[in-house]
């Protein structure tokens, strides 16, 4: 694993585990933070919340376990079709984005662009975050966001953003009157404030073609991240989306610019490269972890992807990343 040091304040309570599987995936489940944990699911969980910002539609994708996921991070290395905004409200963690490790502590936030492989790990014992995946209609704002954040960006929260984040979690943890009206308002205020911090410029009133959110990208992202050793087949992914293989190919091309085989290969090669850079696992072990039964096939695909052998790649990158 990359060894970027946590701050002295955060390092005193960084979690370590004897569970090798959990450690390798950065999984941690501390005791629930009951201050933001309601007795039942909030009616606005597991749905898309549409906000109107600068004449376009910003869609926040609120998952089924939105509140449960605030106090731990349980995800393998993956990339998504949407932007991700993660705000650290308590504790500390590290976030790998492509080949770089970011240290995030209380009062930090990170925004990650679509298609960038990333994984959180080394999460502190006491932890609280607000995670907001979002997508935008094609519009001036999309171009401005791409220019401001080509891959990822870490920034410090303003007092306003910190307060808004806590207010959002507080509203989600209850079912008080008018919460369905207040939550979108709070989220709009937070997203506008974040865009201002990132120097994302607004437009001069150009009209936008509204592109609806596509929940299928969540299924696709999860499909490729869930089990590194066995990704499943194109037929299985199509069936889980209730699509034909031809329809699935159109969805993959629209959202990722590639077909099933290309996305599968890209996911495997990214994870193989990450393991070579950040661990001392043998090449044979890595071959198996990323789903290859044949080392010959693995070597061939790796060399075609990186233009060098796995051993050459490790020698070139490991000295600076471990």
Q: What angle do CA 275, 276, 281 make, to 5 degrees?
A: 75
Q: Which two three-digit tokens encode residue 158? A: 């303003």
User: Which residues does residue 58 pair with via DSSP β-bridges, in sequence order?
Assistant: 51, 136
CATH code of the domain made up of 216-321: 1.10.10.60
Q: Report the alpha-carbon distance of residue 189 to residue 184 in Å, rounded.
A: 9
- Give me the architecture of the 8-197 domain, per CATH: Sandwich (2.60)
pLDDT of residue 319: 54
Domain boundaries, the chain: 8-197, 216-321
Three-class SS of 216-251: HHHHHHHHHHCCCCCCCCHHHHHHHCCCCHHHHHHH
Phi, psi for residue 8 in degrees, rounded to 5: -60, -35
- The token pair at 145 is 């966001």
Instruction: Please check whether residue 152 is in contact with residue 221, taking contact to mean a CB–CB distance below 8 angstroms.
Output: no
Amino acid 100: pLDDT:
84
Q: Report, as ranges of residue numbers, the positions in the chain whose pLDDT lies below 70.
A: 1-46, 64-65, 138-139, 203-214, 226-231, 318-322
Residue 131: predicted pLDDT = 92
∠102-104-108 over CA atoms, to 5°? Answer: 120
Task: For the chain, give the secondary structure using H, E and C.
Answer: CCCCCCCHHHHCCECCCCCHHHHHHCCECCCCCHHHCCCCCCCCCCEEEEEEECCEEEEEEECCCCCHHHCCECCCCECCCCEEEEEEEECEEEEEECCEEEEEECCEEEEECCCCCEEEECCECCCEEEEEEEEECCCHHHHHHHHHCCCEEEEECCHHHHHHHHHHHHHHCCCCCCHHHHHHHHHHHHHHHHHHHCCCCCCCCCCCCCCCCCCHHHHHHHHHHCCCCCCCCHHHHHHHCCCCHHHHHHHHHHHHCCCHHHHHHHHHHHHHHHHHHHCCCCHHHHHHHCCCCCHHHHHHHHHHHHCCCHHHHHHHHHHHHC
Length of the chain: 322
User: Is-same-fold flag (8-197; 216-321)?
Assistant: no
Q: What angle do CA 58, 63, 66 make, to 5 degrees?
A: 110
CA–CA distance from 237 to each of 249, 268, 269 (Å)?
11, 17, 20
Phi and psi for 207 in degrees, rounded to 5?
Answer: -75, 155
**152 touches 113 (CB < 8 A):** yes
How many other β-carbons are positioned within 10 Å of the β-carbon of residue 281? 14
Cα–Cα dist 123/105, whole Å: 10
In this structure, are residues 220 and 259 in contact, taking their beta carbons and an 8 Å threshold? Answer: no
């Amino acid at each position: 694993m990359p060894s970027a040091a946590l701050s002295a304040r955060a390092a005193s309570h960084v979690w370590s585990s004897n569970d090798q599987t959990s450690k390798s995936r950065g999984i941690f489940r501390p005791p629930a933070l009951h201050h933001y944990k309601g007795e039942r699911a909030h009616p606005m969980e597991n749905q898309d919340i549409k906000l109107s910002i600068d004449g376009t539609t910003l869609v926040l994708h609120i998952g089924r376990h939105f509140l449960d996921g605030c106090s731990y991070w349980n995800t393998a290395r993956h990339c998504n079709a949407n932007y991700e905004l993660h705000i650290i409200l308590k504790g500390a963690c590290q976030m790998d984005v492509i080949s770089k490790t970011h240290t995030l502590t209380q009062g930090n936030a990170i925004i990650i662009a679509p298609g960038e492989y990333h994984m959180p790990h080394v999460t502190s014992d006491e932890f609280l975050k607000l995670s907001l995946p979002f997508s935008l209609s094609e519009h001036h704002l999309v171009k401005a966001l791409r220019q401001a954040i080509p891959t990822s960006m870490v920034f410090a929260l303003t007092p306003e953003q910190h307060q808004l984040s806590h207010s959002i979690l507080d509203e989600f943890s209850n079912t008080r009157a008018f919460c369905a009206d207040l939550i979108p308002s709070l989220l709009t205020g937070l997203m506008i404030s974040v865009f201002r911090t990132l120097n994302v410029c607004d437009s001069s009133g150009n009209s936008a073609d509204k592109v609806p959110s596509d929940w299928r990208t969540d299924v696709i992202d999860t499909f490729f991240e869930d089990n590194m050793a066995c990704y499943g087949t194109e037929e299985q992914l199509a069936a889980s989306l209730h699509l034909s293989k031809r329809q699935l190919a159109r969805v993959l091309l629209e959202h990722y610019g590639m077909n099933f085989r290309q996305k599968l290969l890209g996911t495997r090669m990214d994870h193989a490269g990450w393991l070579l850079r950040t661990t001392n696992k043998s090449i044979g072990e890595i071959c198996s972890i990323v789903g290859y039964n044949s080392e010959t096939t693995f070597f061939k695909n790796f060399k075609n992807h990186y233009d060098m052998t796995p051993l050459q790649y490790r020698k070139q990158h490991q000295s600076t990343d471990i």
